[in-house]
Amino acid sequence: MTIVYHVIILVLGFLGHGVYSHMQLLNPLPIRSPLDPSNPANRDINYKDPLWKNGSNYPCKGYLTDSFKATAEYKAGNEYEMAIDQNTATHGGGSCQISLSYDQGKSFRVIKSIIGGCPIPLKYKFKIPSNAPSGKAVFAWTWFNRIGNREMYMNCAYVNVAGGSGDGFDSLPELFKANVALQTKCETDEGLAIVFPDPGSVVELGPDGNGPPNRGIAKCDSSSGGQAPGPKPEPPTPAPQSPADSSPTSTPAGSSPQQTPASPPLDSNPTPPSNPMPDAGGQGSSPPPAAAPAPGSSGVCTAGSIKCDSESTWSMCSGDGSHYISMGSVAAGTTCRGGKIGVA
């Protein structure tokens, strides 16, 4: 009887791990997703696992060598919805980023940051920037869990983008990396939701619009080669979109994924994507610090913008742009100058 009891416990533990361990992207379907019905052979049954601790399978679990097969069609300037598989463990939430790469993963440009409470809702709206280049791209969703081992999760999907100008897209911030030793020495604190040093201009502060109550700052050892993301140019202000130009596309979490790619918003004159891929390129040198963004007399600021209270403390503009939220001290080895956090 005792043996049978222990066997049952082991089986239940195994099933629980297989069904509810970590999480994975549902829409758009990522490369080698076990949820993709059109790819029955080349699947990763452990897709919910994080990147390896040493970072040797960054980016995208090493799957960008697979042939390009888009699972979503996007139009620049329009809004869409990404979804996470509902059979997941959220590890107390955390912080996430959505980014695009046009050079096979050599660089990823952030188009949205979610700070705190991510991905507890399992669905998030995002907008493809009007200046996103047209053509083949890699869509990446990255997540830093708040509770549990210090890990970095990364799911990547091949997508097509149409109708974008490409002007100034490379000025968007680079994807934040941590907890992957070969890529960076940055690490995140357990029990805290990471506040990205350079989240970009599109920021969602969860869970109540004021950001996480327990805010974490990346710990980066600049002396050993890793560093926090340095100063970046200010991203361009996207052209305003009329309500008719925007229509979210969604796949309900937990429903069976379809074989057809995610549909773009309805548009009577869609612009087809161009074939050329932009030249691969690394990050350029950081520009000199710009003037710190100053709120007006009413306290209005740009959502996600950073204000240096001193060289060692900083604040971030709220998601609705109504006020600044104190984020406390910067990470060891970094300073806040001119509205940017960089290596001291």
* CATH number, residue 66: 2.70.50.70
- What is the separation of C-alpha 95 from the centre of its chain, rounded to a whole number of angstroms? 8
Residue with tokens 């990823």: 108
Whether 258 maps to a domain, the answer reads yes
Whether 32 maps to a domain, the answer reads yes
Low-confidence ranges of the chain (pLDDT < 70): 1-22, 87-91, 208, 221-299, 319-320, 330-333, 342-344
CA distance 46 to 33: 9
Residue 62, token pair as written in the block: 């090493």
Residue with tokens 């429903």: 255
For residue 155, which phi and psi values (nearest 5 degrees)? -115, 135
Residue 33, token pair as written in the block: 């997703």
Whether 332 maps to a domain, the answer reads no
3 state SS of 235? coil
CA distance 232 to 52: 28
Q: Are 242 and 226 in contact (CB under 8 A)?
A: no
Whether 201 maps to a domain, the answer reads yes
pLDDT for the residue numbered 336: 84
pLDDT for the residue numbered 287: 43
238: burial class by Cβ within 10 Å (0-12, 13-18, 19+)?
middle
pLDDT for the residue numbered 218: 82
User: Model pTM?
Assistant: 0.65
Whether 299 maps to a domain, the answer reads no
Whether 283 maps to a domain, the answer reads no
For residue 22, which phi and psi values (nearest 5 degrees)? 60, -145
Whether 34 maps to a domain, the answer reads yes
Q: What's the start-to-end Cα distance of the chain, in Å?
A: 63
Q: Are 172 and 162 in contact (CB under 8 A)?
A: no
Sign of the torsion angle spanned by Cα atoms 56, 159, 38, 141: positive
**Domain coverage including residue 135:** 19-278
pLDDT for the residue numbered 305: 78
Whether 158 maps to a domain, the answer reads yes
Instruction: Give the chain's domain count.
Output: 1
Nearest CA to 203 out of 287, 123, 116, 142 is that of 116
